[in-house]
Amino acid sequence: MTDFPELTELERRDVDMILRYQDNTEYVIDYITLRLRCPCANCDPRRENDARQKEFEAEVRLQRNEKPAVEKVGYFGLRFKFDGRGCNTGIYGFDLLHSIAESTKSD
């Protein structure tokens, strides 16, 4: 059983997206934040210490904040495909997307 609500809608805008959930919550995540949290085997290790994290962040922030294509990966999550440079291999589980959304919400 999951401890987060079901994602019911994903609205992609030019520089960010809105995630809407079954419990009527909604969150906005910009695409730079999404890229910074990429879970793939290439990106994840780049966050293992402060120095590598800062280098990774600087690299990602140099990329265009562009709207990616998105595809569903089974019942597990979503893959985002960016046209420009950067990673396109990360599969964002629905639990990870909710975690990112929760960490970016404003009070």
Average pLDDT per 10 consecutive residues for the chain, totaling 107 residues: 86 96 96 94 93 94 90 95 81 96 80
Distance, CA of 82 to CA of 34 (rounded, Å): 11
**Which pair of structure tokens corresponds to residue 58?**
């600087």
Structurally, the chain folds into a number of domains equal to 1
Q: What is residue 49's predicted lDDT score, i.e. its pLDDT?
A: 95
Residue 2 lies in a domain: no
- Give the model's pLDDT for residue 82: 84
Residue 1 forms part of a structural domain = no
Q: Is residue 92 in a domain?
A: yes
41 found inside a domain: yes
Position 1 scores a pLDDT of 44
Our measurement of the distance from residue 18's CA atom to the centroid of its chain's CA atoms, rounded to an integer in Å, reads 11
pLDDT value at position 58? 95
pLDDT on residue 104: 87
Residue with tokens 């960010």: 16
What are the C-alpha distances in Å from 89 to residues 18, 80, 92, 104? 21, 8, 10, 22
Query: What span, in angstroms and rounded, lies between the C-alpha atoms of 107 and 92?
Result: 25
